[in-house]
Structure 1
Amino acid sequence: MILNRVTNELLERCPVCGGTDLRAKLQVQDKSVSQETFTIVQCQACGFQFTNPRPDATSIGPYYESAAYVSHNSGAQGLINQVYKVARFFTVRRKVALITKLNGGQPGRLLDYGCGTGHFLAGAQKARWWVAGLEPNDLARADAAARTHEPIGRPTDLTGIPAGSFDVITLWHVLEHVHTLNETLEQLIRVLGKGGKLLIAVPNVESLDAQHYRQDWAAYDVPRHLYHFSPASMRRLLSRHGLTVRQTLPLALDAYYVSMLSEKHRSPERAGGPLTVLRAGYSSNRYAAQHDGQYSSVLYVAEREA
């Protein structure tokens, strides 16, 4: 199904280094919504990979219109979404404990950019954090507002927030969706307070599960995922904005979740069951432990350079 009234945009320069030698690397099908095929290109200067061409910001909305898109819909059903919700219950606690530790053991001021349905914000709120969220999806934004009893803005509201407003800013699997990549990072850094931390979680295109599943790797998630980061490309991007990565942390559960989705993307004769998923997730995490932390998803903790 090719969606109507979609305007595509073609990037002629790499968003990370500005290079112009962009070569097709992989053809990936959108298995979730449109069934269209999209091209992932790689910059020959720095190695960064991104979806190109891609629907522009005004056209991409219909590609998110799926009842199964659980980060936008708390009522999403099905086995995979139930697994996601169970994992979310435990990971919210870990995320809140992490930001509290990074903030010197005390609650502070939190902005969750792309807050989805607000579960993380609500968890931080219970731990006495002052919270704010920005979310583009109307349904998710209303859900987050009801859950936190706080107004939830749109991403465009970021430019109106006073400088230095937050101790911690989080983007949980969000940056790969943002059309205005460099402009958004500039604004996020502007509203980050002195000594504040910017936390960015994204899939890792150099993980073992990415190599194993190739075009069936669910974390490509074209065209919703515009960018496909590696640790090297993320460090290069953040350095361009005067940020230093102080820590990289594994999101080990993602290897199992992404492998489960990826098996569903495979043809019926190649798709495996639960044991295949467990083996793939375990192998990916074991590989990462032996290869410089190349986990399925990586959390980058960054702060401004002195």
Structure 2
Amino acid sequence: MSIKSKQILTDYSVSKEKFELVYNDAFEMYETKFTSFDKLDSYYQSADYISHTDGTRNWFEKVYQLVKNYTIKSKWNLIKKQTNKQYLKVLDIGCGTGDFLKYGIDTFSVQGVGVEPNTTARNLTQNKNVTVKKSIKEINNDLFDVITLWHVLEHVTDLNEYFTFFKNHLKEDGILVIAVPNYKSYDAKYYKQYWAAWDVPRHLWHFSKKSLKKIGIQHQFKLMHIKPMYFDSFYVSLLSEKYKSNSKNVLKAFFIGFVSNLYGFFKNEYSSHIYILKK
């Protein structure tokens, strides 16, 4: 996929509306041009927006939940390797239905707090006895050992606001963990305008590896590690096949997902990456 200064993409998931993406050369990322932020919530109102539910209505959702449970364990293993503290205070922004925090609280006795603007997902989190706030503005002056955003940063309306929040709410030896899609991956190149991780207008920002490094430097964060998310290429390819041909084409999607991970192994450009940053 060549870098284009502008792209016009369709919201295949909810509205079927078209949105413009503009390339920011300085930060090597795309921005979705969207100004009606008061209407943004309406673009999340879909039963198919799976991260806001604990749904197991069909095989796709059942597999999603199984993979989610597996990756939650791997995420906590990654975090525990990055810090030698026995007890952690963790803030998970965009916590969805709270399963990541619930596992950390039950398994590692972390002090966990979530932030989730979606009412349905927030209620599910509260039902799991996990403390959850509606927005970062409700966090007050608390400091955390770890702040996580699992496929959330691409959704926020103001990157500078969030990175200022990270700087003000992380302890001096704290870590920031961000997972976002990578538009330089093979699955992005293959599916082009049908690539599900464009997900306009819900995804307002579209990052490369250099994007996160440059944004981090701008806000006095140092990028320490980048880790691949191997399962994302399969999930994204399944959705992309649906958008492209109105069918999930499971075998083809899994083949593209496999090729994307193979491409990532040689080119170091996976479907999604986890970024570990420190102040």
Query: Normalised by the size of structure 1, how large is the TM-score?
Result: 0.86
Deviation at 1:82, TM superposition (A): 2.1
How far does residue 24 in structure 1 lie from its aligned partner after superposition? 4.6
Other-structure match for 2:256: 280
Tell me which of 67, 71, 74 is aligned to 2:54.
74
Q: Which runs of 5+ in 2 are unaligned?
A: none
Give 1:107's aligned amino acid: Y
Indicate if the aligned counterparts of 2:101 and 2:130 stay in contact, CA closer than 8 A.
Answer: no
Structure showing the higher helix proportion among its residues: 2
Paired residues for 1:1-306 under 5 Å = 24-52=5-33, 54-75=34-55, 77-104=57-84, 106-126=86-106, 127-147=108-128, 149-158=129-138, 160-162=140-142, 165-268=143-246, 273-291=249-267, 293-304=268-279
Query: Amino acid of the residue matched to residue 219 of structure 1?
Result: A
Gaps of 5+ in 1: 1-22
- Asked if the contact 2:28–2:207 (Cα under 8 Å) also holds between the matched residues in 1, the reply is no
Q: Is 1:159–1:187's contact at 8 Å kept on the other side of the alignment?
A: no
Evaluate the alpha carbon distance shift between residue 55 and residue 202 of structure 1 in structure 2; reply closer, same or farther with a 3 A threshold.
Answer: same
Read off the aligned partner of 1:166 and give its amino acid letter.
Answer: F
Of all paired residues, the percent bearing the same amino acid is 37
Higher normalized contact order (CA 8 Å, seq sep 6+, divided by chain length): 2
TM-score normalized by structure 2? Answer: 0.94
- For 1:288 and 1:107, locate their aligned partners in 2 and report how far apart those are by CA, in whole Å: 34
Deviation beyond 6 Å, 4+ runs, structure 1? none
Amino acid at match of 1:171: L
Please provide the CA RMSD for this pair.
1.6
Aligned length: 275
CA distance, structure 1, for counterparts of residue 221 and residue 64 of structure 2:
31
* Paired letter, 2:8: Q
- The 1-side partners of 2:58 and 2:21 are apart by 29
Deviation at 1:105, TM superposition (A): 6.0
Note the C-alpha offset of 1:158. 4.7
